[in-house]
Amino acid sequence: MNSDDIQKYLDLMGEIKRRTAVIDAFSAGLTHAVYKATTIESIYLQYRKILELIALGSLVAQKDVFSTVYADFAKYWNAELLVKDIERLNPNFYPEPIIQQPSTRPDTKMDFILRKDDFLTRDDLIKLYKKCGAIMHSGNPYGSQVDYGYYEKMSGHWRERIVNLLNAHRIRLIDDPNLYLVQMGAPDAPPTHTTFVLASRPPP
């Protein structure tokens, strides 16, 4: 796998950072979409795009595979089916969030510890995608209405869990034996990576 492939993935992570900045601008009142309902809808449009980038990211190195999966997804916009399709192609597609801390072991600078429960899980991604879809459609005037207050209240929760997932994470790209540590970095800096190459086994 050449360096251009992981760079494609880093470019997607950079787009996520830019879309997160849009969410932050709306949430802080630095900009708006004329009135509150459309502003909240605009925030969740960004979340929807971010979720698609997270789900499809590990396939980005294979243009034909990426295009086929995305075309199938675009017929139904069903995140649950999308995740199942991707898992068949790359069972390790989902980012593994880690916490980095100084190591107490000799000759080791940092220890990597897997995050436990404060990040956007695979099931959370499906749940949030469904909620993003619900707010994008006009409600039935005779039925229950969109609770914009709920969506506004939960926006910060979802942002935190996405940031915790991606801030420092491990990813495996499709058909790539290497493991990549991706760090999102400062708001104005591009994401970076470290490659961990699968060591060859010594002969028996």
pLDDT digits (tens, 9 = 90+) for 117-160: 899 999 999 999 999 999 987 666 666 788 999 999 999 999 99
CA distance 204 to 189: 46
pLDDT digits (tens, 9 = 90+) for 74-87: 998 999 999 999 99
Helix/strand/coil (H, E, C) string of 116-148? CCCCCCHHHHHHHHHHHHHHHCCCCCCCCCCCH
pLDDT digits (tens, 9 = 90+) for 143-202: 678 899 999 999 999 999 999 999 999 999 998 889 999 999 998 899 999 998 866 555
